[in-house]
Amino acid sequence: MQFYKRIFPEISISVFSGVQDVPQIHKNDFHQNFFPSITDRISGNLYGAISLSNNQKFNNGEIAFWIGEKYWGKGYGTEAAKALIEFAFQEKKLHKVFARYFKSNPASGRIMQKVGRA
């Protein structure tokens, strides 16, 4: 199986790199959206998820993420966002990646600041 994989000290982010590797239900969306999981590098335990929408018309994308509450404040969201932004620019050749957050969730805003999206 071929995929883009980024390993950090604590987490692993994997993104499929070929349509043949994507489950049938997602093949129509493969070139538009990516939904990698955020998992523990060793145990594989799920910490959360992150997504990249891919607007092919404008060659840009938007990231969104969710981290399980018991994993908040450990840097996993920041590491995952960095990995997906790297994937967006290096692998998908997008020219812009942006993100938004709710005012009621300032922690997401801090992640965006750390990765240069705010």
Task: Note the pLDDT tens digit of each residue in 81-112.
Answer: 888 888 888 888 899 999 999 999 999 999 99
> Which tens digit of pLDDT belongs to each residue from 29-79?
445 667 777 887 778 788 888 888 888 888 899 999 999 999 999 988 998
Q: Does residue 13 have a pLDDT over 70?
A: no
Top-level CATH class of 3-114? alpha beta
What is the spatial distance between Cα 2 and Cα 72, in angstroms, rounded to a whole number?
Answer: 30
Q: Is the dihedral of CA 109, 4, 49, 61 positive or negative?
A: positive
Q: Which residues pair with 60 in a beta bridge?
A: 55, 96
- Per-domain residue ranges for the chain? 3-114
Burial (0-12, 13-18, 19+ Cβ within 10 Å), 75: middle
